Homo-oligomer: A and B are copies of this chain.
């Protein structure tokens, strides 16, 4: 699915890490929301409240979930899940375009 239909989008951007990570919030009729975002090259740690599904739309990242030792490679078209009230480390090569769903 290349687009989301019948949604609302919050105009103001969400900006993190001095703009190296940014996103827009998309709200769905069923009350759920997702963010469409971009990560510049770099290493970041994100914490979660709700569980998350992170879909990498384009790009190449390495991810290490909280409590795990190993890094997993995730590229465009692939995704990873993060538990609620947890965190993940992520290393971005180039630019990563992502969609985050809050489960």
CA A71 – CA B67 in complex, angstroms? 53
* Given A9-B9, A24-B24, A97-B13: A19 in contact with B3 (beta carbons within 8 A): no
Q: What is the interface residue range for chain A against chain B?
A: 20 to 34
Within the oligomer, what is the number of copies of this chain? 2
Residues 6-44 of A, flagged 1 when their CB comes within 8 A of B and 0 if not, give 111111110100110010101100000000101010000
CA A36 – CA B12 in complex, angstroms? 8
Tell me, rounded to whole Å, the shortest Cβ–Cβ distance linking A7 to chain B. 6
The answer to whether B38 touches A19, judged by C-beta atoms less than 8 angstroms apart, is yes
Interface residues of A (CB under 8 A from B): 1-13, 15, 18-19, 22, 24, 26-27, 36, 38, 40, 57-58, 95, 97, 99
